A = this chain, B = another copy of it.
Amino acid sequence: MSSARRDVTIGDVASRAGVSRAQTARALGGYGAVSEAVLSRVLVAAEELGYRANSLARSVSTGRSQSVGVVVGDIENPFFALSVRGISDTLRAAGYDVVLMNTGESHELEVDAVRALDGKRVDGFLVAPALASEFAHLQALVDAGRPLVLFDRDVPGLAAPSVVVDVEAAARELTDALVAAGHRRIGFVSTLTSSAARWNEDPQVAHTPVGRRLLGITGALRVHGLEMRAEDVRVGARGAEDIRRHVRELVTGDAPVTALLASDAVIAVAGLEELRCLGLSVPGDVSVAVFDDPPWAGLISPPLTVVSQPVLETGVAAARLLLEAMAGRASAEPPSLFAHFIHRNSIGPAREVE
């Protein structure tokens, strides 16, 4: 019982309008059959009383909440921000609201988030899982028949559609360009702590976004008879400081890499800052490329060579897929989204290896 005075209820409006509650509900809710006369009387009464519909009560009754839960690792990351924009706009147009959960890439928080959303009886879930290896919480959703669509990240073994960008071809192009420029040692840095930590021995790697990038890179390298060294793949960098440390180690070790690949824009920013602090020039001392094409990529010096991904489209596609699933329609296959390689100027000839 709240301390404030009771809400104006449908019953209040009903008696004021001199109509039954059922009929009032129909008028206000816009369902069922209502005569013009009753409709206007109810509307007037509602207006006079300052009636505000309570969609919570409606949801308890109908079992649908007209809202979907969206869980992302980091809303601050431009990738997620833009995805969420696509998701939000698409969903709103279809009459759904978005309940946003930011997990900071913590699996525990993700589990909590899903539980909370489920408690709120969201009609569907859109999640970019932090881990590909632990997915009991998602499996539970699928088992319970709750609409679920993954995006940006896939979870092998989970029967839920996923919208991911096919980055392999672009990654190969990028790698080819690197090799052609004489690079033999390439470093890769990513924030994600996924099963990709064991990227070189885990068959599930293809299902993580990091894994897909690596697959494209290593595949292309192999064609040239080259391999990536395990110590040059840094997955699981947490926070700017950690990213910078990884970058520092990669470019200043005994056998430094001559090219640095950033898994996303956040990594790129921190990495470029570190290179600058180290007094290393791009692409003179080290070549750089990023798996994302933020709006400022072409503005920095040198303009960044990137693998550009259709980010907004990812969000839109995921939302559409979820809409289908919520409508009970057999979920169409996720659309094919492709990344593409954009050569700007952050890749140059490999520095001479001693």
B75 touches A102 (CB 8 A): no
Q: Which of A55-80 contact B (CB under 8 A)?
A: 55-57, 59-60, 62-65, 67, 74-76, 78, 80
Task: Tell me which of A84-92, A171-179, A331-339 binds B.
Answer: A84-92
What is the 8 Å Cβ interface bit string for chain A, positions 300-315, against chain B (1 contact, 0 not)?
1100000000000000
Instruction: Let me know if A54 is at the binding interface, CB within 8 A.
Output: yes
Q: Which of A32-66 contact B (CB under 8 A)?
A: 52-57, 59-60, 62-65
Chain B residues with Cβ below 8 Å from A121 are 54-56
Asked if A327 is at the interface of the complex by the 8 Å CB criterion, the answer is no
Known contacts A99-B100, A269-B296, A300-B299; is A119 also within 8 Å of B54 by CB? Answer: yes
Which chain B residues border A88 with CB–CB below 8 Å?
75, 100-102
Q: Is the CB of A78 within 8 A of B75?
A: no
Residue in B1, B55, B63, B81 whose beta carbon sits within 8 Å of that of A76 in the complex: B81
**Complex interface: chain B residues within 8 A of A102 (CB):** 84-85, 88-89, 92, 98
A55-B99 contact given A81-B78, A300-B300, CB 8 Å threshold: no
Q: Give Cα A352–Cα B141 distance, bound, in whole angstroms.
A: 66
Asked if A67 and B97 sit within 8 Å, CB to CB, the answer is: no
Do A65 and B56 form a contact, CB below 8 Å, given A97-B120, A299-B272, A300-B301?
A: yes
Question: Using Cβ atoms and an 8 Å threshold, which residues of chain B touch A62?
Answer: 1-2
The residue in chain B whose Cβ has the minimal distance to the Cβ of A69 is B97
Q: Which residues of B contact A52 (CB under 8 A)?
A: 118-119
Instruction: Report if A75-B64 is in contact (Cβ < 8 Å); known contacts: A102-B89, A299-B300.
Output: no
- How many copies the complex holds: the figure is 2
Contacts of A253 in B (CB 8 A): none
In the complex, whether A4 has a CB less than 8 A from a CB of chain B is yes
- Considering the complex, give the chain B residue whose CB is closest to the CB of A55: B119
Query: How far is B145's CA from A56's CA once the two chains are assembled, in angstroms?
Result: 19
Question: Which of B1, B64, B65, B100 is the one whose CB lies under 8 Å from A63?
Answer: B1
* Residue A19 is within 8 A (CB to CB) of chain B in the complex: no
Given contacts A56-B56, A65-B56, A269-B296, contact A97 B89 (CB under 8 A): no
The digit string for A1-41, where 1 denotes a CB below 8 A from any CB of B, is 11010010000000000000000000000000000000000
Interfacial chain B residues near A109, Cβ < 8 Å: 92
Contacts of A116 in B (CB 8 A): 55, 97
In the complex, besides A54-B119, A97-B120, 6 extra interface pairs with C-beta distance below 8 angstroms are A56-B65, A75-B75, A78-B78, A100-B100, A269-B296, A299-B300
Give the 4 A-B CB pairs with smallest separation, nearest first: A301-B301, A2-B63, A81-B81, A55-B119
